Amino acid sequence: MRRGAASSTLVIGDSTWWRDAVFYQVYVRSFADSNGDGIGDLEGITSRIGYLDLLGVDALWLTPFYPSPMADHGYDVADPRDVDPLFGDLAAFERLLAEAHAHGIRVTIDLVPNHTSAQHPWFTTALASPPGSKERERYIFAEGNGSEPPNNWVSAFGGPAWTRVPDGQWYLHLFAPEQPDLNWDNPEVRADMERTLRFWLEHGVDGFRIDVAHGMAKPPTLADMDPRIIEAQRRGEDVFATDLRTDPRWDNEGVHDIHRGIRKVVEEYQGTVTVGEVCVHDDERFARYVRPDELHLGFNFRLLQAEFGAEPMRAAIEHTLAAVQDTGAPPTWTLSNHDVSREVTRYGGGELGRARARAMLLVELALPGAVFLYNGAELGLPDVDLPDWALQDPRWERSGHTQRGRDACRVPLPWEGEAPGYGFTPGERSWLPMPEHWAGLTAAAQLEDPDSTLSLYRKAIELRHTDPSFAGTEIEWYGAPEGCLAFRRKGGGLTCALNTTGAPVPRPPGKLLLASGPFDGDELAPNTAVWLTA
Ligand code: GLC
Ligand code: CA
């Protein structure tokens, strides 16, 4: 077991703590605002470490807090080795790190190696330098075809992936034009990444979440992409939920050498971890990212992409396990993050969506491997239907107002009180408006209520950390009635059963450890999961 009730400090030398850790993603803008400007900040997080300790998580993942013009809310980094004044300063980061460590909570931070901000000094210098100069070699500049861009690639946010500069050349941006892609064939780019890694490792961080870990390397020919993928993306389909072998923008061979370079540096700091955002659906392609000299962990998005239902969930679990089976890396599980609709909403919204999200939490936490929780999921927050004027995600503008983007899942967390603001900010306004009806969802309201979603999270995480039935790294499936699934942890014997149907079903045998909803002892109610032991 890792961190338990008895030890609240980090065990030095526990170098594989991440293999079954519960990570908690802090979307920094939306977690807690200390100074009243309506935007979450580092001091705000420090003031809430006690809450995270009560919740019982092992580690944090902080989204980017580096100097940034915020075209993509910090994923456009102008200086990877400093703190944006909006979020605090380096001293505030050090206080946060010290406070988290004092509570036995590790801290991992986001790294954005695929691109920089257009305001990064490298890019402003590149623009001021002529075509063919070494300044332009740090990015991907190319000549177009007459007045057309170098190829037909589209940005992940919609629109062309190329922007023309006044001298006629084009630069590549797989995301917003304010996020030019770096040229990873340039040794300067690699050297700078190493500096960044060491900078934060020397500050004492416990690892990195690596943004767009399937990007970075580009194919040498910059050949056109399949127009069908462009169409699918335009329709709003999740293009990462398919095999990417025909999409030249991602998952290129060269990316693995980059991960090996990162791993080499991180290896010098014992007990640190890398987790990559690996949007690669195919199991075998995924496995290549978590080979022993590459990433420690890769986000597997299968569970998040699965519809609520026994068959799709079982398939997602089997694929996630199969993808890492021969790699030595543990599987990872995620139900939501700052880029997708929250699970309560995805599973149907309202009380139904919340019941299903609670059930899926028990499924997720019953599985062996590392779990990533997204802030606010523990409060059962749904997406928020924001008015057009409030939308800020670049996807909204770049899709010509056809895709609303990701703001709905990024609304600030409600901490206490009866009215918008809800203790998130001492100021008048939050950066995205908070709904009128969230008083019952605040952390304060839920802490007192044993049936709340927050209480369920706390109990579930605590049991996962302390109950011997969670031992082992393998599962076996049980036969289950249609629309249900049941599996057992082979080592410790924990059974998890989920009923996704509209009717009660007989429950598997065993002593009840925890239920996600009302449980009468005999039957498993609709949209409910239970944990049972022998
Ligand atoms: C990742 C991040 C997302 C960001 C994008 C570009 O997918 O999770 O929020 O917009 O990379 O950096
Ligand atoms: Ca603030």
- Ligand 1: nearest atom to the Cα of 114: 12
Ligand 2 center from residue 39 Cα (angstroms): 4
Residue ranges in the chain whose pLDDT is less than 50: 1-8
Ligand 1 center from residue 210 Cα (angstroms): 10
Q: At what angle do helices 350-366 and 453-466 cross, to 10 degrees?
A: 10
Do 34 and 70 form a contact (C-beta atoms < 8 A)?
no
- Does residue 175 line the site of ligand 1, with CB under 6 A? yes
- Does residue 378 line the site of ligand 1, with CB under 6 A? no
- For residues 526 and 356, give the distance between their C-alpha atoms in angstroms, rounded to a whole number: 9
Q: In what order do the strands lie in the sheet with 528-533?
A: 475-478, 484-489, 495-499, 528-533, 511-515
- For residues 154 and 147, give the distance between their C-alpha atoms in angstroms, rounded to a whole number: 16
Ligand nearest to the CA of 176: 1
Tell me how far CA of residue 521 lies from CA of 97, 219, 474, 507, 513, in angstroms: 44, 58, 27, 8, 11
Q: Long-range contact list for 352-355, CB < 8 A, 24+ apart?
A: 352/527, 353/382, 354/380, 354/382, 354/453, 355/516, 355/517, 355/527, 355/528
Residue in 373, 344, 313, 277 with CA at minimum distance from that of residue 26: 373
Tell me how far CA of residue 462 lies from CA of 45, 57, 77, 229, 474, in angstroms: 22, 9, 36, 44, 20
Catalytic residues: 211, 268
User: What is the pTM assigned to this prediction?
Assistant: 0.96
- Does residue 211 line the site of ligand 1, with CB under 6 A? yes
- Ligand 1: nearest atom to the Cα of 76: 12
- Does residue 178 line the site of ligand 1, with CB under 6 A? no
Among protein residues, the one whose CA lies closest to atom 4 of ligand 1: 75
- Does residue 212 line the site of ligand 1, with CB under 6 A? yes
Domain boundaries, the chain: 17-115+188-464, 469-533
Ligand 2 center from residue 152 Cα (angstroms): 40
- Amino acid code (one letter) for 390: A
Do 265 and 208 form a contact (C-beta atoms < 8 A)?
no
Ligand 2 center from residue 87 Cα (angstroms): 6
Classify domain 469-533 at the CATH topology level. Answer: Immunoglobulin-like (2.60.40)
Among protein residues, the one whose CA lies closest to atom 12 of ligand 1: 75
Backbone φ and ψ for 60, nearest 5 degrees, come out as -110, 150
- Does residue 340 line the site of ligand 1, with CB under 6 A? no
Ligand 2 center from residue 36 Cα (angstroms): 6
> Looking at residue 215, what is its pLDDT?
97
Top mutation candidate among 76, 208, 211, 336 for ligand 1, by most atoms within 8 Å of CB: 211
> Looking at residue 13, what is its pLDDT?
56
- For residues 139 and 282, give the distance between their C-alpha atoms in angstroms, rounded to a whole number: 29
- For residues 100 and 3, give the distance between their C-alpha atoms in angstroms, rounded to a whole number: 13
Residue with tokens 């139904």, as numbered in its chain: 352
Among protein residues, the one whose CA lies closest to atom 3 of ligand 1: 339
- For residues 133 and 307, give the distance between their C-alpha atoms in angstroms, rounded to a whole number: 50
Alpha carbon 75 to its chain's center = 13
Residues 6+ apart with CB under 8 A from 145: none
Query: pLDDT tens digits for 164-218?
Result: 999 999 999 999 999 999 999 999 999 999 999 999 999 999 999 999 999 999 9
Of all helices (H) and strands (E), which one includes residue 24? strand 22-26
End-to-end CA distance of the chain: 20
What is residue 78's DSSP assignment?
A: S
Query: pLDDT tens digits for 81-95?
Result: 999 999 999 999 999
Ligand nearest to the CA of 337: 1
Q: List residues, by chain if needed, whose CB lies under 5 Å from ion ligand 2.
A: 33, 35, 37, 39, 41
Ligand nearest to the CA of 37: 2
Classified as helix, coil or strand, 34 is coil
Residue in 378, 380, 361, 376 with CA at minimum distance from that of residue 530: 361
> Looking at residue 237, what is its pLDDT?
85
- Does residue 72 line the site of ligand 1, with CB under 6 A? yes
- Amino acid code (one letter) for 438: W
Top mutation candidate among 117, 280, 339 for ligand 1, by most atoms within 8 Å of CB: 339
Classify domain 17-115+188-464 at the CATH topology level. Answer: TIM Barrel (3.20.20)
Ligand nearest to the CA of 155: 1
